[in-house]
Structures are given as structure tokens and as C-alpha cells.
A and B are shown apart, each in its own frame.
Chain A
Amino acid sequence: MLKTQELQINIGPQHPSTHGVFRVLVTVDGETVVDLKPVFGYLHRNHEQIAESNTYLQNMPYTDRLDYFNSMTNNHAYALAVEKLAGIEVPERAEYLRVIMAELTRIFNHGCALGFLVNDMGAWQTALAFGIREREKILDLFEMVSGARMMCNYFRFGGVARDLPEEFIPRLKELMIALPSYTDEVEKMLRENEILLIRSEGIGILPPELAISYSVTGPVLRASGIPYDIRKADSYSVYGRFDFDVPVGTVGDVYDRFIIRIEEMRQSLRILTQALEQLPDAEGGHINPKARQAVRPPVGDAYGRVETPKGELGFYLVSDGSTKPYRYKVRAPSFINLTPLADMCRGYKVADIIVILGSIDIVMGEVDR
């Protein structure tokens, strides 16, 4: 084999498919990746420090901007942490509303993540356009309840900001009739597209031991074969009442991460159906009337975590008894899932880096806080 000079290229920070201002310093030998170093911090905006100078409620809209794709689940994790810290009860109905919002978020996030991934493989936005089409319908629902499409800011301590408007449930039911056909469509496109298969099978394998030692969570971990889902492992809200499965992969390659996401969309639909059935019987209003929004939690600390579409999102809060958190720490799934990138990419081609990066499904707003 001819010894050739290695070439160092910077993919990013301004690059069409690094999902934001993210830089990968790649050493390539021809087209083969010899080494890779993810460099981030370009979007650092001092989130945690700013949050420590805000009151607890002021941080709620601020968490929307972490993973700007899934503001509802971000709110959920933060609300959970503050409720633990201040000991606030959440009425049953509010919990159901939270679950509905979180699962809707998961569906459109996975749909778009698949679209972006196929986009990274070079398909000209068609899969993404279909994902966005479904997302629009869900965002309409979010706009209905919260007034905003992306930065929803819908959760409050002890519940959610508003109850559902009248036309919400019929619209949601309409959507849920259409969504299974969308997941089938995506799956058909995946399983039957030869090019997609050869681009994703056996690419970017993350062995389960490595995934655990990197503390990867979410679909990436489950694709490696580890059935770890916080909704089951550390059940919060009313997830214990629903019957749903945790899909796991066997190999941990890009293809597995693909299929896992499709399967999770199906499971989310199952949860949604059950939540809609149980919602009318749920007691209480949309918010605990006794819960004060200007919380002054007792001295102590709390960790609230949820299963966001991207993995475990946790908020660690330390209170010194004042209206502002003494310490505010975000455990961002995108950031932690990004760390094994080098191990996943080594030995593959340049084109695979992009696909592997796409399969992790990161949002830079969360990686650089």
C-alpha cells in the first residue's frame, strides 16, 4: 500500500451539515478517517451562569432555547427539578397534558431527525420535507395551547400554563389518524431503499460497553442494545400508567438508530392514544392552584430528569433558600452523546462522518450552553 500524506480538514464551524456551528477536525488519509476531534463551544452563551442570576420562573422560557427543537420536554425536565426542590404537587390532569406534549415532541423530533439524516446522506431534502410537513401540524397544536410554535414556554411549576382549548382534542385525534401512515411511509422508504441501506448498515457502530462508559443516553444508547429509557427506568409523571415498549437495536449502527426512532414514534403514538383515553377521567385542573410560581425553595438540591427525544435531559438545582438557584446545571443529552463521535468514526470514510453525526441527532443549542 502506498504511503500517502495525511490531510487535515476542518468540517465546520460553517458547514452545511454539522447541524449548527460545530467543528470537526478530521485527519484523513485519502477518504479514510484516521482521527477526528470534535470542537465545540461556538454557541456558548453562558446559559448556566445567567440562569443563576434569574428567578426560578424566569428560567422557564430560557430552557426553551436549549434544545430549540423540543422546548416542551426541556420545560418538563426543569419543572420536574423545581417541583422536587420546592415540593410542589402536580394535579393528574396536568400530568396528562405534559405527557401529551412530550410525546408529540418526540414524534416530530424523530421524524425530522430521520429527515435530516437522509439529507446528510445526500437525498435532496425530500425526506426532510415530509418530516417538516408532519411537524407543522404538531406545531399548530402547540401554538393552540401555548401561543408559540417553537419556544412554547408552556410548563409551570405545578402544572401547565393553560388548559387545552376546545378544538385541541379533535385536531389531535385527526392528526393521530394520519400519523401512523407517516411512520409507515418513513419505514418503507428506509427498509426498501437499497442506497440508504448500504449507507447506514454497519456504519458508526457504537458497542454497548463503550456507550455505557461514555454515558450515552437516548435512541443512540438503545440502538446499541441497552434498554434504558428513563420513562421506564425512573418513571416520572404518569408514565407508569401507560403500556409501551422500549425498542432496542442489536448492532448499534446508523441503521439501528434509524429504526429505533421509527419504532419510538410508534410507541409514542401508543402512549398518546392511552393518554387521550385516560385524560377525561383525570382529576384536578391544568395547574395546582396552591403552587406559587415565584418559588422560594428550601435549602437543598434536586435533580429532575426526563427522557427527551435525544436522551436524558437533567437539571441539577441547588437552592440557598433565595428566589434564585444557587447552582443550575444542565445535563444535556446532545453534548454527552457527541463525545463518542471519534470512536464511532475512526476507519470510516469522510462521507460517513456526516451520516454518523446526523444519526446522533444533536442540537447545538444544547451542546454549547
Chain B
Amino acid sequence: MEALINYLLNTALNLHAPEWVILLIRHLLVATILFLVVPFQMLLLTYFERRVIARMQDRVGPNRVGWEGVLQPIADAVKMFTKEDIVPAAADKGVHLLATGVVVVPTMFMLSVLPWGPGMTPVDFETSLLFFFAISSVSAIGLVMGGWSGNNKFSLLGAMRAVAQMISYEMPAILSILALVLMTGSMSISKIVEAQGGLIANLTDLPKVPDLGLGWLLFTPVGFLAFVCFFISALAEGERTPFDIPEADSEIVAGYMTEYSGMKFGMFYLAQYVLNFALCAITATLFFGGWQGPGVSQLSAMGANNQLFSILAGALGVVYLLLKTYFFFFTMVWIRGAFPRLRIDQLMGLGWKFLLPLTLVNIFSAAIWAACIHWGPEQGLAFLSAFGPWKRWAIAFLSTLVINLLAATLLVRINSSAESSMPKLVEDQKFGAVTLP
């Protein structure tokens, strides 16, 4: 980005702008793009979700406003803006208003650390992964504020559920990410993405292997297990079916959003979709290589000579990332169209009894992976360096695969046997002829 602005200002326009001007322009530009992209993505996501769900339910979906209904979200936004803003008489008005902001702003921050393309991370720093999850938890405070201030029992129940769920599922989410940090040795999201180039995960510097950007962490046992745990946790964090308990419309109306109307409701809605988008994007980034894909690194390499190619590489990277992100969002919609929701105690059971131990085991295997790949004579494991990269990688793969498989089967068995302490009814139920006088 700096290079591009530098090229435009100094080379093309010949302005001799100092470095701080370029930086300032870059920051303003990036902030503007982010603030435009976020609501636009939200509009697109709502339209996408409604059409896909409609397709699954034998319906047409919104198709009246604009071509095939693409302007439907705009119409919805206009409706939201023009609606009366009702604040309950008994509400704590200050907190009621503030909650909307506390919910929306953190979700916008989340997108600022995502690497959108090669060298296209708006804010890049060493602990961006930590920042991403830390800032995502802030919105939980907003949910409590919103649920409590409305002075409605449904809101309160919803807020209680939301916080219980957020806390329970942030643990497995962050622990599963920790495995990746161990594998890649970095807490910077952009470095984790860069580590997923090449053809084989975590084995980038191989000779004679073209950099196809397919070394996704998903293709390792550690990464796969982490992905499964993380995506389940992401569904819970983003309050998507089957974990949409805090706003279970059939039980507690709209949860913490019950007492909101008009644009304030719209803000909660916005926050939710942006959060979902960010969670899908981070899943794509951490496990599916983010902007990595065939052709990106080749174009970047050509960009050294011609600025145009690096722009193309960036565009291709953004396309790859968005494709992956939308795939995950589609999965979320798909699950929503197919599954009922869990009950709150079942949700807690899944989080604490299944996902948490599984992610802990996964961290253990990630440590083994890192040791097999990176350790050598300094750690007293000289025999490892004698093997060469391929063999070391194979050892790491097989050992972690065995550990993770054992852990997963064991946990599934333990959890299902805990359930079967209740009478297993399905097998016993018989239906058939009953002859009556």
C-alpha cells in the first residue's frame, strides 16, 4: 500500500511527498475502506443468507427490489432508519444507548488486523491474533448492557445466556488457535498466513516445489482438529444455529435485542453480521490459507518489476479470501437451514466436556509437531536433524494424527456414555399393530 501511494505521488505525479504524508494518506484510506466495506458486507450477507435459506426451503426469497432483489438490504436499511426509536420507560436510557456502540465498534476493529491480501494488512503487529480475540470479547459487555438496560426479562435471560455462552466458547476457540501459534511460532495473523504458502503445510522452504499457496494448516492433523473445534466455537461465538441460544426467537423472543427498535436494533444486527463475517474470515485466514492460493505468490514476485502485477496479486488475494470467507458463511447458513438449536445445558456440556479437553490435547500434539519440525541438536535431539525435512514432517504428521484420533474417539466415547446414563429410548420404542375390541 505504501509502495503504491509512493509510486502514485512521487513517481507518477512527481510531488516529492515526505514519508509521513504517505503514511497519513495510507491510514486515512484504509480506515475509509474498512468503514465502507463493513456495512456493505453486512448488506450483502443478509441478502445472501435470505436467498440461500429460501432456496433450501423451496421458496424464492427476496426478489422484488432491484435485479433479483439485490437492493432488498438497502430497502431494509431505509426501513430501519425511518422506524420509530422506542426506548422503554423503565429502561436505563444511557446504558441502553451506549450498548449499541459497545457492540458495534469492537466488531469493526476485528477486521482491521485481517490480512486481506499479500502485504494488505491494515494494521499489522506481532500480537494481532491476540488483539483479534481480545477485542471480539469486548462486545459481550455490550450484550450485557443491552440486555440489562432494557428492563425486560427476556432481554435479561438473553444477556445471561449470551455471556455464559461467550465465556464457555472463547476458551476452546482460543486454545485451538494456540495450537496454530505453536506450529507457526508467531502470533501475527499475517505471518501465520505467510506460513501457509507452498504445497505442504509448515514445510515452505522445499526446493523444486512451486509456491501454489496450498500449504494450508487444515491439511495437518493438528490444524484439522483445531479447525473443527474452532469452527464450532465460532458458531457459538457468532450466535449462529445450532448455538443461537441467546436470541432464540422461539423461546425468549429476540434475547438481549428484544427492547431495541429502529436503527438501534439495526446496529445489533450489523454487529452480529460483521462478527460472523470476521469469524468466517479468520477461519479462512488461519486454517484455509487466507489470501494464499495458486498464482498469488507468482504475481507478487512479478510485482518486483512492475507495480501493476503486485496490484493484481493483491486483488487475487482478496478474491481468494472472500471466496473462502463466503464459503464459511454459506456453511453457517446451511447449518441454520438444517439444524434445530441446542439447549443451554447441552451447549455448556459440549463446550466444557468435549471441546475444551480436545483442544488441550491438540495443544500437546501441536507441541510435538513443532518439536519434530524445528528442534535439533540444540535441544539434544540431534537424530531429528539427520532425517531431513520430508521424514521429519512425516514423523510429525503420523504422531499427531495418532494422538488426535485417540483423543477424539476417547472423548466421543466418554461423552456418549455419560449421556447413556439416561435411558436410551430410541432402540426400545416399538410401534405396530394394536388390536382393539
Contacts and interface: CB of A to CB of B under 8 A. Distances in A.
Interface of A: 7-10, 15-17, 31, 118-126, 129-130, 133, 191, 193, 195-199, 201-202, 227, 229, 232-233, 245-251, 253, 255-256, 259-260, 263, 349-354
A211 to B, nearest CB: 16
B434 A251 contact: no
Contacts of A232: 436
A122 B248 contact: yes
12 contacts: A7-B157, A121-B341, A123-B241, A195-B341, A195-B342, A197-B426, A227-B434, A245-B434, A247-B432, A248-B434, A250-B429, A256-B429
A16 B436 contact: no
Given A255-B425, A349-B345, A196 B340 contact: yes
A349 B426 CA distance: 22
A202 B241 contact: no
Interface string B292-328: 0000000000000000000000000000000000000
A198 B341 contact: no
B350 to A, nearest CB: 10
Nearest to A349: B343
A349 B344 contact: yes
B340 A125 contact: no
A229 B434 CA distance: 10
Contacts of A118: 340
Interface string B137-181: 000000000000000011011000100000000000000000000
A10, A195, A229: which has the most chain B beta carbons within 10 Å? A195
A111 to B, nearest CB: 14
Given A9-B154, A16-B250, A202-B425, A124 B58 contact: no
Contacts of A125: 57
A152 B58 CA distance: 26
Contact of B58 (A129, A195, A198): A129
B108 interface: no
Contacts of B59: 129
A17 B339 CA distance: 17
B153 A199 contact: no
Nearest to B341: A122
B428 interface: yes
Interface in B48-83: 53, 56-59
A7 B248 CA distance: 19
B193 to A, nearest CB: 33
B346 interface: yes
B93 to A, nearest CB: 23
A191 B426 contact: yes
B56 to A, nearest CB: 6
A119 B429 CA distance: 24
A126 B250 contact: no
B256 to A, nearest CB: 15
Contacts of B432: 245, 247
Given A9-B154, A251-B429, A351 B57 contact: no
Interface in B408-424: 419, 422-423
B97 interface: no
10 tightest CB-CB pairs across the interface, nearest first?
A: A122-B341, A121-B340, A129-B57, A17-B250, A227-B434, A123-B340, A232-B436, A245-B433, A247-B431, A9-B153
A120 B343 contact: no
B436 A246 contact: yes
A349 B431 CA distance: 29
A227 B436 contact: yes
Contacts of A260: 431
Contact of B346 (A123, A198, A263, A350): A198
Given A195-B340, A198-B346, 16 more contacts: A7-B156, A17-B251, A121-B250, A121-B340, A122-B244, A124-B53, A126-B337, A197-B426, A198-B419, A199-B342, A227-B434, A248-B431, A263-B431, A350-B157, A351-B245, A354-B251
Contacts of B130: none
A123 B342 contact: no
Given A122-B244, A129-B58, A349-B344, A233 B253 contact: no
Nearest to A31: B344
A248 B338 CA distance: 28
Contacts of A7: 153, 156-157
Nearest to B154: A9
B374 interface: no
B342 A193 contact: no
Interface string B238-282: 000110110011111100000000000000000000000000000
Given A245-B434, A251-B425, A119 B57 contact: no
A351 B345 CA distance: 10
B208 interface: no
A263 B432 CA distance: 9
Contacts of B339: 123, 193, 195
A250 B428 contact: yes
B53, B248, B337: which has the most chain A beta carbons within 10 Å? B248
Contact of B250 (A193, A255, A349, A354): A354
A79 B429 CA distance: 37
A201 B252 contact: no
Contacts of B337: 123-124, 126
Given A126-B57, A248-B434, A199 B340 contact: yes
Interface string B193-208: 0000000000000000
Contacts of A349: 343-345
B392 interface: no
B425 A16 contact: no
B26 interface: no
B58 A133 contact: yes
Interface in B328-354: 336-346
A179 B250 CA distance: 29
A118 B423 CA distance: 23
A122 B340 contact: yes
Nearest to B152: A9
Nearest to A263: B431
B16 interface: no
A253 B425 contact: yes
A253 B244 CA distance: 24
B390 to A, nearest CB: 40
Contacts of A350: 157, 251-252
B112 to A, nearest CB: 32
A122 B340 CA distance: 5
Contacts of B434: 227, 245-248
B251 A195 contact: no
A120 B428 contact: no
A302 B253 CA distance: 45
Contacts of B342: 195, 198-199
Contacts of B425: 201-202, 250-251, 253, 255
A253 B345 CA distance: 19
B343 A351 contact: yes
Nearest to A247: B431
B280 to A, nearest CB: 18
Nearest to A191: B426
Contacts of A9: 153-154, 157
A263 to B, nearest CB: 5
A124, A197, A251, A354: which has the most chain B beta carbons within 10 Å? A124
